């Protein structure tokens, strides 16, 4: 297992470098001068050129890219053009908020999705099955920003039971977590249903029933564990995806997380901040994939990595 993990981490290095290079090239292609945006209007061209030289923005592109990679390897993503603060510090300040939101959304997804998928599989082709699948399809289909605005209107404006936006207490997590987890719950429910239906056709399930086990015991002890293998993959990837992709939710609910940092970096052409957020979220996705593979062998001892 240790050799497999080391090999996966080694293979991940070109991926991180490739994504960093693509981000760097795109930022240099987009029109606009980050120094001019940072210093606003009516600034002398001489001052702009002097600041550009101080920030090494007049160096060749390849030199700036390798300087960024070298500094990133030492935990330094540079200084934000707009906020004039260390990008590493900004990421560390924002990451706990994004982590709390992502974990809360994932828990909502699992708590709703797995039981819904099991019930749908047990009661297949029934009214309950059709209702659950319809609700899950609705969650997958509705855009996150629209669901967020709808929840804000109902629970904050009409009922007044939850705050509209912000992130200064537990009550501020409830609504964005439900919005973020609803779409993921639909995917979990549909995957759990299909995987469980496939497993329940196997011979050992019939053997377990023939031994006199009640249906709940057959499902929980024999079928569900094996049916969870593909679901676990999606669950681990969802956490990494929620960590890296909660941009819209953070913007709608005013949450000071990594996604909001990325949006501000794009708007201000803040290259160090955007490169830092992209590399950080890339690492999170890679770690999520690796955790999913490791959990495979923990759930099913038959799976071995050589």
> Do 37 and 270 contact (CB within 8 A), yes or no?
no
Report the share of the chain in percent with pLDDT over 90.
0
For residue 257, the SS3 value is coil
d(CA 76, CA 68): 8
> What separation in angstroms does the CA of 298 have from each of 225, 292, 301, 304, 305?
11, 10, 6, 10, 12
127-184 pLDDT tens trace: 888 888 888 888 778 888 888 888 888 888 888 888 888 777 788 888 888 888 887 8
- List per-residue pLDDT tens for the chain, 306 residues long: 667 677 777 878 888 888 888 888 877 776 666 666 666 655 677 776 777 777 667 777 778 888 888 888 888 888 887 788 888 899 888 888 888 888 888 888 889 888 888 888 888 888 888 888 888 888 778 888 888 888 888 888 888 888 888 777 788 888 888 888 887 888 888 888 888 888 888 877 778 778 777 777 777 777 777 788 778 777 777 777 777 667 778 888 888 888 888 888 887 778 888 888 888 888 887 877 777 777 766 666 666 655
| Phi-psi map region of 56: left, alpha, beta (phi>0 left; psi -120 to 50 alpha) | left
**How many Å from the N-terminal Cα to the C-terminal Cα in the chain?**
7
> Do 26 and 266 contact (CB within 8 A), yes or no?
no
Question: For the chain, where are the alpha helices, taking DSSP H only?
Answer: 2-29, 34-39, 45-54, 61-73, 87-122, 127-141, 144-151, 171-199, 203-210, 215-217, 224-245, 247-253, 258-268, 271-299
For position 31, what pLDDT does the model report?
Answer: 65
For position 196, what pLDDT does the model report?
Answer: 86
* DSSP conformation letters of 197-255: HHHTTSHHHHHHHHTT--HHHIIIIIIHHHHHHHHHHHHHHHHHHHHHH-HHHHHHHT-
């Amino acid at each position: 297992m240790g050799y497999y993990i080391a090999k996966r981490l080694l293979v991940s290095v070109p991926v991180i470098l490739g994504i960093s290079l693509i981000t760097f090239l795109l930022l240099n292609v987009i029109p606009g001068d980050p120094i001019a945006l940072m210093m606003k209007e009516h600034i002398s061209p001489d001052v702009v050129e002097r600041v550009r030289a101080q920030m090494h923005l007049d160096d060749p592109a390849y030199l700036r890219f390798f300087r960024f990679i070298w500094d990133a390897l030492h935990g330094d993503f540079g200084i934000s053009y707009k906020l004039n603060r260390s990008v590493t510090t900004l990421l560390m300040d924002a990451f706990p908020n994004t982590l709390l939101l992502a974990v809360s959304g994932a828990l909502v997804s699992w708590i709703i999705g797995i039981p819904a998928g099991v019930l749908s599989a047990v009661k297949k082709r029934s009214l309950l099955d059709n209702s659950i699948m319809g609700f899950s399809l609705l969650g997958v289909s509705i855009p996150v920003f629209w669901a967020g605005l709808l929840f804000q209107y109902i629970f904050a404006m009409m009922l007044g039971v939850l705050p509209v936006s912000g992130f200064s207490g537990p009550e501020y997590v409830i609504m964005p977590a439900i919005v973020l987890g609803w779409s993921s719950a639909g995917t979990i429910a549909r995957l759990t249903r299909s995987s469980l239906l496939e497993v329940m056709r196997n011979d050992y399930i019939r053997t377990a029933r023939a031994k006199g086990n009640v249906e709940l015991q057959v499902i929980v002890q024999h079928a569900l564990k094996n049916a969870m293998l593909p679901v676990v993959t999606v669950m681990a990837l969802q956490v990494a995806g929620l960590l890296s992709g909660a941009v819209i939710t953070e913007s709608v609910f005013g949450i000071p997380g990594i996604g909001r940092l990325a949006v501000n970096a794009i708007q201000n052409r803040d290259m160090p901040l955007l490169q830092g957020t992209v590399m950080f979220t890339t690492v999170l996705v890679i770690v999520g994939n690796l955790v999913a593979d490791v959990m495979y062998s923990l759930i099913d001892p038959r799976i071995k990595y050589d």
